[in-house]
Structure 1
Amino acid sequence: MAPEWNLMPRTLEGQITMEKTPSYFITKEAPRRVFSMSRHTRLIVVVRDPVTRAVSDYTQTLSKSPGLPSFQNLAFRNSTTGLIDTSWSAVRIGIYAKHLENWLRYFPLSRFLFVSGERLVTDPAGEMGRVQDFLGLKRVVTDKHFYFNQTKGFPCLKKPEGSSRPRCLGKSKGRPHPQIPSEVLLRLRDFYRPFNLKFYQMTGHNFGWD
């Protein structure tokens, strides 16, 4: 039997091909491979407070594996000294400066747009405006395409004419986070602070996580 290939359709004139994979930014081999494919690729990176991101990551995993150890047991290599375990993926992903350094070996900063995950919630139209500008597109997506879903705590997409049901994030999004001891979160914030500051300097943008 011949293998089944899932190929992207051809990009026609006047179209832009877009593809997303969360693991690209943190995968060591990805920058070289993307560069080999096209050095003119534009790169959009959505980032959020790494502490919140780590807790969200843990929440998602916990929903699939209820017997998972506590967040603090996974986050600390040594609970007595408070040494953070950077081998845990939920922690490692949030060290954005380290991942960006890898990408900057192949692409200049001008090829990147860094989108704030927090502002995607509080001002989705504003962040989408930046995305459209970055891609050289007309600002078609505006405020009228969004409404805030109080239950989920996220904005949902809608057609301006209201001819169809709004499109909201799936059930896996917007789950309530487990209670994490405040001292654990503070220790994690202290850990991320120098990496955050370096990331702000590298990108020229203060995301206000500290």
Structure 2
Amino acid sequence: MPFNAEQIFGQVPVRPMFILLIPISKENSKWRHNPVVANEIPLIQYSTSVRVVSLLESNETDISPKYRLFREQGLHPVRQLPSALVIGVKKGGTRALLEFIRIHPDVRAAGSEVHFFDKNYHRGFQWYRSHMPPTLEGQLTIEKTPSYFITKEAPRRVQMMNPSTKLLVVVRDPVTRNVYADIEIPEEAQETTQNDPLEEYTQITEEAISDYTQAASKKPEMKTFEEMVFINGTVGSIVDTSWGPVKLGLYYKYLTRWLKFFPLSQLLFISGERLILDPAIELKRVQDFLGLKRVVTEKHFYFNTTKGFPCLFKSEGHSAPHCLGKTKGRNHPYVNPVVLQRLRDFFRPFNMRFYQMTGINFGWA
């Protein structure tokens, strides 16, 4: 029996929600004061062959009244292999990106990291599909596993699944990467309500490297950061490139592998710093890249003055305002500024090489 989707939408009442919060807007200078330069080199807006049909006017799940009405009309959601992947980098901001983009009505995302292309590839594509969310025609399926970016076999495996797969890579300064483990705000940031969020961010990033921080919080007897990052454990010695956090920061190396299997036009590089400081700008680029209507805008975010971090008015599975995760409140060990400068000097040529490959100057010092 023919039906009109607009008529179906009209059958579901919309309940207004009144909340007094601080929205992100052009007038909110805190969100515009941003020295992080991610666009000094013009960005190319890539075209896409993904066909998207807008089905919903707001964020809904497959158990919502609107979806039930579709099923009553004989339409049933089906599980599809993802047409877009968030492949990295680890703790660069991938979780925030997924939470932000999944509020788009035409996007459905796997609920957790599936690790198919690195750890579970032997289980086969049917197994992978079974871990995807049900979607209706025109909806886009996306999956996030940050370790894909550094997995040697992942580019070839993804290409075998679908050579047209869209790849999203969130990167941040390799020296201060992971300061907010999994985009969770340290206790220091929560206690400050008066400072500019950018100043708070800069202050904390100068004091911690979170790959080390996470491990040190669990093992107090762990070596000092200097002992971990330098071969002889002293500032005057050579940076230990075999240490995991250092290796992961060599972005150009891993990108080289992906470019052997995918053209640059199928990769979108997102600034992890800008994703925190002005999420609407980065989400605009993401939606364009995926061929989506620009639904996620500044109106979806508000600035939490307690956390110093962007939060959502509403997100998938949450009808009320929602911030990402619960703060762990880990205390960050002090890292000598001389050590940080040594690391910046070490990463600088590799960062420049990455800028040249992507065509983007991320402005890392």
Do both share a fold (TM > 0.5)? yes
Partner in structure 1 of residue 309 of structure 2: 154
Residue 58 of structure 1 aligns to a residue whose secondary structure is: helix
TM-score (norm 2): 0.53
Shift in Å at residue 177 of structure 1? 3.4
2:231 is the alignment partner of 1:77: yes
Paired residues for 1:1-210 under 5 Å: 7-9=131-133, 11-53=135-177, 55-78=209-232, 79=234, 81-159=236-314, 164-171=319-326, 177-210=332-365
**Total equivalences in the alignment:** 205
Q: Specify the code of the residue in structure 2 equivalent to 1:95.
A: L
Q: Distance in 1 between matches of 2:279 and 2:295?
A: 13
Matched-pair contact (CA < 8 Å) for 1:153–1:174: no
Shift in Å at residue 181 of structure 1? 0.1
Q: Distance in 2 between matches of 1:47 and 1:30?
A: 18
Matched-pair contact (CA < 8 Å) for 1:158–1:166: yes
Q: Cα RMSD between the aligned structures?
A: 2.2
Matched-pair contact (CA < 8 Å) for 1:128–1:141: yes
Q: Deviations over 1:128-180 (max 9, x none)?
A: 111001000011111111112233332111139xx943221223578553220
The gaps in structure 2 that reach 5 residues or longer are 1-122, 179-208
Label 1:201 to 1:41 Cα distance change in 2 as closer, same or farther (>3 A): same
Matched-pair contact (CA < 8 Å) for 1:75–1:84: yes
Q: Which one is further off, 177-186 or 56-65?
A: 56-65
Higher RCO (CA-CA < 8 Å; seq separation 6+): 2
Q: Specify the code of the residue in structure 1 equivalent to 2:313.
A: K
TM-score (norm 1): 0.89
Matched-pair contact (CA < 8 Å) for 2:235–2:339: no
Q: Distance in 2 between matches of 1:37 and 1:186?
A: 42
Q: Distance in 1 between matches of 2:331 and 2:153?
A: 34
Q: Distance in 1 between matches of 2:218 and 2:291?
A: 40
Q: Distance in 1 between matches of 2:328 and 2:162?
A: 33
Residue 84 of structure 1 aligns to a residue whose secondary structure is: coil
Q: Specify the code of the residue in structure 2 equivalent to 1:57.
A: D
Q: Distance in 2 between matches of 1:13 and 1:195?
A: 43
Q: Distance in 2 between matches of 1:171 and 1:92?
A: 29
Partner in structure 1 of residue 70 of structure 2: none
Q: Specify the code of the residue in structure 2 equivalent to 1:146.
A: F
